[in-house]
Amino acid sequence: MILTVTLNTALDITYRVGALRPHASHRVSDVTERPGGKGVNVARVLAALGHGTTVTGFAGGATGRAVREHLAETPGVVDALLPVTGPTRRTIAVVDELTGDTTQLNEPGPQITPAEWGAFLDHYEELLPGAAAVALCGSLPPGVPVGAYAGLIKTARSAGVPVLLDTSGEPLRRGVAARPDLVKPNAAELAELTGSHDPSRATQDTRRRGARTVVASLGAQGLLALTPEGRWRATPPAREHGNPTGAGDSAVAGLLSGLVEHLPWPDRLARAVALSAATVLARAAGDFDRAAYEKLLAQVSVTAA
């Protein structure tokens, strides 16, 4: 199985309105709910691709119960979330059907106590021996140490489990220094980490800092990958308009599934880009349009960079 860690899980709520206008009341035409947080989104896409996944992290309060109820209805995903006292956060995506643009509102997450964090570390170590790979994804809830991902990376490496890191800011900086197998920052996160707005230079700098492989998400321009086997650029056929929530997570799922399937890097990157674009086209946050994915997969351009 593939283990995904989402320390700041969420209930993703998507509202669709005819046109979003500031200072106005809106009639919502459609509402959907999904268990969310980056690693949960990754797990759902992996399961849709046929990979057994286990989700761990924290869940608390009424929102946490709703997340777990939805997870129980998701084939291929095993719920290994730990209960906490604080309430799980909600994220609200408001989709403007006129423009296709999305406005996102993200709550901060529950306060995690030292005892709850210690219990999670024990739980994580127990899950690792059954994992083919692990993804550490998303923000840290209040109370979790800023170096949490660095410690989790070292634990995974000690267990011989490949580890992917997808976060930002100081947790990313410390995590990269712990030598993860793969990091997937977006352009802004890469620039914040390295001080360079040149993706080529910034990916090289990130590898020097400790990451074995760097796959940079460049939005509509696709992915830039710097690996021990070479450098590639993967580009979608066109810019897709819709809800971008979870698009980066779908790219992570593509990379992880390609890792455990031992696919060549160009095939991994094509899958990641196609899944990301198909997620933008989906009606609900954290889902992907399968028909669009299958069409896009044949249209992604992957070239040596």
Active site amino acids: 249
The closest of 259, 266, 4 to 152, measured between CA atoms, is 4
- Report the 3 state secondary structure along 134-168: EEEECCCCCCCCCCHHHHHHHHHHHCCCCEEEECC
Please answer whether residues 36 and 285 qualify as being in contact, where contact means their C-beta atoms are separated by less than 8 angstroms.
yes
β partners of residue 217: 186, 223
**Within 10 A of 124 (CB to CB), how many other CB atoms are there?**
23
Q: Name residues whose C-beta falls within 8 Å of residue 65's C-beta, 6 or more positions apart in sequence.
A: 59
Q: What is the C-alpha to C-alpha distance for residues 158 and 179, in angstroms, rounded to an integer? A: 12
Amino acid at 29: S
Q: What is the C-alpha to C-alpha distance for residues 71 and 74, in angstroms, rounded to an integer? A: 5
Q: Give the pair of three-digit tokens for residue 73.
A: 């209805």
Amino acid at 277: A
The DSSP output letter for 271 is H
Could you identify the residue written with the tokens 């500031």?
22
